[in-house]
Amino acid sequence: MNGTLSLSNIFNPANARAMAAPIFIVLILAMLVLPLPPFALDMLFTFNIALSIMVLLVSLSTKKALEFAAFPTVLLLSTLLRLSLNVASTRVVLLDGHTGPDAAGKVIEAFGHFLVGGNYTVGIIVFVILVVINFIVITKGAGRIAEVSARFTLDAMPGKQMAIDADLNAGLIDENEARRRRAEIAQEADFYGSMDGASKFVRGDAIAGILILIINVVGGLIIGVMQHDMAMADAASNYTLLAIGDGLVAQIPALVISIAAGIIVSRVSTEEDIAGQMLSNVFSKRQALYITAAILGLMGLIPGMPNFAFLLLAGGLVWLAYRNGKPQQQEAPAEAQAAPVAAVESQEASWEDVAPIDTLGLEVGYRLIPLVDSATDGELVRRIKGIRKKFAREIGFLPPAVHIRDNLEINPNSYRITLKGVEIGSGEVRTGLFLAIDPGNITASLPGIATRDPAFDLPAVWIESGLREQAQAMGYTVVDPGTVVATHLNHLVTQHAAELLGRQETQALLDHLGKSAPKLVEDLVPKMLPLSTVQKVLQTLLTEGVAIRDMRSIIDTLLEHAARVQDPHELTALVRVALGRSIVQQIYGSASELPVIALDHGLERLLLQTLQAGHDAAGMEPGLADTLLERTQTSTQRQEALGHPPVLLTPAVLRPLLARFLRRTVPQLKVLSHAEVPEGKQIKVTSLVGGAA
C-alpha cells in the first residue's frame, strides 16, 4: 500500500538521501540534551574539522557561486553542529574536568596541549586572536560583500530579463534555454540574499564561542575548587586548558568555513576556478614580477636583513617572469601557399563567369571575421542558424540561407545586409565591447562611445566588459556584438518576408504540406489555381504582417473560392477572414476587449464613393489623401501613447485600399476589417480618424 513504512522503503537510495538531512538535524538536537562519551566527542570533532576542509576545497574549485548553491544551508548546519558539540563538550568538561586533561577526549586534549604548548595564557591569547580574525575581519567583510551583491543582483534583474527576452526574440535561444536563464537569475538573487543572512550565523557563532570559553573557565574553577576540593592552581590549569582546547577545536573549523564563505561571495564568475584566477591575474604579469624581484633584491643587500631569504625569493620571481615571457613555439604552416600564376593569355568568357546573386547576404569588415569564422565556430554563425529556425517556426516557411562573406571595401567594424544583391541595412559594431541600449527607463548615463542601436534606432553606448553588470543595474539592455548583428538581421528578414517567398519557396512549402495532406494540394495546384496566384496570395499576407503557419486553412479557403474568384487580392481578403482569429490573437493576444481606431462616418462615405467610382489609392483626390494620412498618423500616435496596439478597423470593402495606402507612411498600423474580428471579442473605439476622439 502507498504510504506504508518498511525497511525496503527506508533503505531505498532515493528515500535514504531524502532522510539524511532530517536525521542529521535530529542528531544535532540530540547532542544538546544527551551526554556523549569522550570517544564520541573525538569522532564528532574530527568530522567537524573534515567537513570544514571539504567545504573550503569545494569553494576553491567552484567557477560560479551557484555551483555551490547549498552553501548557506551548509553554513547553518555546520554552525549548529559546532554549537551542539560545544554544549556536549561543556557538559563533559564541567562534570569530569577534575580527572585530568583528557576528560573530554583526545582531540580537545591535543588542541589544549600541542597547539598552545600547555600554556593556558598563550591559549587564551591565540583563541582571542582567532575570534577577532573570524569575527571582525573575515565574517564582517564577507557579510558586507554578500549584502552589496544581493542588492546589485536584485537591481540588475530587470536588465538581465530584458537581455534574455532580446535573445529569445532574435532566435538566439529557445524557450527552454530562456526559462533556464531566468531560473538561474532568480537562483542567483536568492543565493546572495541567503548569504547575506547566513553570515550572521558565523558572527553569532564567534560571540557564542567567547561566552562558552568564559563559562567553562569560571564554571570549572567553581566546580573544581568547591565540589572537588582542588587547589586553585590545579583547577585553573585543568579547566582552562580544557576550555581552551574546546574553544580552539570549534573556532578553527569556524574560521575555515568563514574563509570559504568569503571566497564564495568575493569571487568574480569566470571560466576559471580560484587557483586559475590567481595564477592568471597575479603571477602572469612580467613587469610586476620583475619590479617585485628588484625590490626584494635591494632589500636583501641591506646589512642585517635575512639576505638569503630575500635573494632566494627575488631569484625565484625573476625565473618565473622569464618563464612567463618565453614565446610559445608555433609550428610552421605545413603547406606554403603557392603564388597564383598569372594567366598568359585571357580566355574566352563563359557562363561560368555569370555569378548568381545571393538572396540573403551578410558582408562583414575584416575585424568582424572572427564572429563569422566557421572554422572556429563563430558565435554569429550559430545565431544565424537560430534566426532561420525561429523565422520558420513563427512565419511559416524556411527562408533562404544567409551567405556570409568578408568585404575589404567597407569599414573594418561595419557590416552590410543585402537582399538579392541590394543593401537593405547596415551597421557598425565593436568587437571586445558591449552595446548598452537605452530602453527609455535608465537611471544614469555610462561612459563609452555613443551610438544608436541599428535594429530599432534606440540610443545606445559601447561600453567595456567590466561595466556590463553596472549597466544592467542601471536599466540598460546589454548585448554583445554578435547579438547586435543577429538582432538587426532578424528584424530585416521579418520585414522583408514577402520578398523572400519566391516561387521555389512556395513550391517547397506546398510539397511540405503535401506530405501530410497530399489530396488538398493536388486539388488546388494546378487544377484550380496556378502556383503564381498562390504565391501572390501568400506574399500579400506576409506584406501585411500575417504569418502563414496555418497553411491548411489557407489552402482550404482557396479551394472553396477558387472556382469563382481568381484575383489574388480578393482571395487574400477571403483568406484573411478565415485567419481572423489568428490575426487578432497575433495583435492582441488573449484579450477579450479590442481597443481600435475607427473611421468617421463622413470620411468613410467619401472613401466608399471613391471606391465605387473605380479609383484606387493612387487615384484618390489629393486633399482627401492628405487629410486621411495626417489624421491617421495622429490617431496612431494617440493609440500608442495609451499603450494600445495601433489597429484601424474598417468595412471589408475598404480594408485593401487603406492597407495599401497607409503601409508606407504608417507601417506600424494594422488594418482589420469587421469580418476578420472573431465572435466573442468586444470592440472598443478609442479614436476616430476624421472626427473627434
Residues 466-516: pLDDT tens digits?
A: 898 889 888 899 999 989 999 999 999 999 999 999 999 999 999 999 998
Q: Using alpha carbons only, how large is the chain's radius of gyration in Å?
A: 38
Query: Three-state secondary structure along 645-675?
Result: CCEEEECCCCHHHHHHHHCCCCCCCEEEEHH
Task: Name all domains of the chain by residue range, CATH numbers in brackets.
Answer: 33-278 (no CATH), 356-492 (3.40.30.60), 501-578 (1.10.8.540), 589-693 (3.40.50.12790)
* pLDDT given at position 487: 92
* pLDDT given at position 249: 80
Residue 548 falls in which region: left (phi positive, over 0), alpha (psi -120 to 50) or beta: alpha
Q: CA-CA distance, 192 to 65, in Å (whole number)?
A: 9
Q: CA-CA distance, 41 to 48, in Å (whole number)?
A: 10
* pLDDT given at position 485: 93
* pLDDT given at position 278: 64
* pLDDT given at position 617: 56
Residue matched to cell numbers 518576408 = 497
Q: What share of the chain is helix, strand, coil (3-state, %, to 5)?
A: 65, 10, 30
* pLDDT given at position 375: 63
Residue matched to cell numbers 580552539 = 248
Give yes or no for a contact between 109 and 229, defined as CB atoms under 8 angstroms apart.
no
Which positions of the chain have pLDDT values less than 50?
A: 1-7, 328-345, 692-693
